[in-house]
Structure 1
Amino acid sequence: MSQTSGAPAPTKPSNWNLPNALTVLRIVLVPVYGWALLHDGGESIEWRTIAWGIFFVAMITDKIDGDIARARNLITDFGKIADPIADKAITGMAFIGLSIIMDTWWMWTITVIVLVREWAVTLLRLSVLKAVVIAAAASGKWKTATQALALGFLTLPLREVGDEVEWLDVPGEITWYVAIALLLAAFALTLWSGYEFFRDVWRQRDVIRKSSAT
């Protein structure tokens, strides 16, 4: 005679939780950040500073909501979908907005390549890779951190502020070049981590093919 356990089946966490609320907040902040960044053609010191504050809040909440979700077992299907979308939306808005402001061929080239890579990886993770675990590589984590630093610095009115406050001209210029160096490093890490991701996907192509057929 078989015996069944009296332990109740684990219940799925509700989508109405703090991590998901922070994720939704990040999505809502995307157009607000874009508007502040591009206000007055990106020449406004005040609005560029506000845009930086919004970007900072978005990056901090990205870290906080993940930590809370894991610590309190609040990982939901909605969060798995919305969280990467929120991340790519805010960084994508930053890349596009900064490309509009800087209006250089090399910035637009970086933006297009980065966005194609980011959304290709995200869409793959959300679709055909549901049954396959592709672990996040260390290069991807470094890419995310370097990218956030670069976009955050470039959001600030580093060159514009020197026109208003003379003594900030040189520090602003130096910080701008540091930000460009970080951007180039993030771009290189984006290409490398993208290569690692698609390499790992190719190695597991048989598993992916079988999971897609079922």
Structure 2
Amino acid sequence: MTAGSGDAAAGDPGNPAVPATPAAPSTWNVANLLTILRLVLVPLFVVALFVAGTDDGAEGVWRYVAAGLFLLAALTDNVDGWVARRYDLITDFGKIADPIADKALIGAALVGLSILGELPWWVTIVIAARELGVTLLRFWVIRYGVIPASRGGKAKTLAQVVAIFMLLLPLPGVLDVISWGVLWVAVALTVATGLDYLVRAVRLRLAARHAVS
């Protein structure tokens, strides 16, 4: 066998002995389009929220529109991740855009509610500080490894989404009290998971340094 024939055999996709390298998924796939949809929905949600603020406050029909847009955007977060994993559509664009879209949606809702005077600013600051801190920690340990999302982190996100959705709706007294209860749970999980991420990041760095030494 000549060198030329060997090269041909190794690179021939028709050769059953040599598995073909799967093509990288296109950036313009369903999962990424859902992520882009979530990014597009964020400014639409903000507009609806502030229009509602000038239309009889929380009682205006625009408030329901804002809540619906928020819920739709939040649902795309679960769907795009499932689609990407199920059909092997994970791309570099998705890895970057997906968390940006998540933080944009939650951040826009919290800031909007605080501007309207319906949510204490300290709640918005605590949650924003946690997300920023975790992002910085990811960069701090990126050369040593990736810290996987914990169950607490997923519960935190779910609690935030449920609490914000309930706060967006003009709910009667009892349900409004429940919505604030869910919010306090979300704040507690936000702080707890942030501290947990800090501990795991420090342990990862120390373990990597000990392994090198």
Residue number in structure 2 paired with 1:166: none
What is the CA–CA distance in structure 2 between the aligned matches of 1:109 and 1:27, rounded to whole Å? 25
1:73 aligns with 2:85: no
Runs of 4+ in 1 over 6 A off after TM superposition: 207-210
Q: CA deviation at 1:137?
A: 1.4
1:192 aligns with 2:207: no
Q: TM-score, normalised by structure 1?
A: 0.83
Aligned AA (1:188)? A
What is the CA–CA distance in structure 1 between the aligned matches of 2:97 and 2:61, rounded to whole Å? 31
Q: TM-score, normalised by structure 2?
A: 0.83
Q: CA deviation at 1:76?
A: 0.5
Aligned AA (2:129)? V
* Structure with more contact order per residue of length (Cα contacts < 8 Å, sep ≥ 6): 1
Stretches of structure 2 that go unaligned for 5 or more consecutive residues are: 11-16
- Please identify, of 16-25 and 111-120, the stretch whose mean Cα deviation from structure 2 is larger: 111-120
CA contact (8 A) 2:141 2:205 kept: no
When residues 143 and 40 of structure 1 are mapped into structure 2, their CA distance, relative to the original with a 3 A threshold, is closer
What is the CA–CA distance in structure 1 between the aligned matches of 2:145 and 2:129, rounded to whole Å? 22
Residue number in structure 2 paired with 1:100: 115
Aligned AA (2:45)? Y
Residue number in structure 2 paired with 1:133: 146
When residues 124 and 112 of structure 1 are mapped into structure 2, their CA distance, relative to the original with a 3 A threshold, is same
Residue number in structure 2 paired with 1:161: none
1:24 aligns with 2:36: yes
When residues 207 and 86 of structure 1 are mapped into structure 2, their CA distance, relative to the original with a 3 A threshold, is farther
What is the CA–CA distance in structure 2 between the aligned matches of 1:53 and 1:130, rounded to whole Å? 40
CA contact (8 A) 1:84 1:122 kept: no
1:156 aligns with 2:169: yes
Stretches of structure 1 that go unaligned for 5 or more consecutive residues are: 159-171
Q: CA deviation at 1:206?
A: 4.4
Q: CA deviation at 1:10?
A: 2.6
When residues 114 and 131 of structure 1 are mapped into structure 2, their CA distance, relative to the original with a 3 A threshold, is same
What percentage of aligned pairs have identical amino acids?
43
CA RMSD of aligned residues (A): 2.4
Deviations 1:117-144 (A, max 9, x none): 1133235436752651212111111111
CA contact (8 A) 1:95 1:111 kept: yes
CA contact (8 A) 1:96 1:111 kept: yes
What is the CA–CA distance in structure 2 between the aligned matches of 1:35 and 1:57, rounded to whole Å? 15
- Please identify, of 59-68 and 127-136, the stretch whose mean Cα deviation from structure 2 is larger: 127-136
Aligned AA (1:71)? R
- Please identify, of 115-124 and 141-150, the stretch whose mean Cα deviation from structure 2 is larger: 115-124
Residue number in structure 1 paired with 2:135: 122
What is the CA–CA distance in structure 2 between the aligned matches of 1:21 and 1:70, rounded to whole Å? 15
What is the CA–CA distance in structure 2 between the aligned matches of 1:25 and 1:130, rounded to whole Å? 32
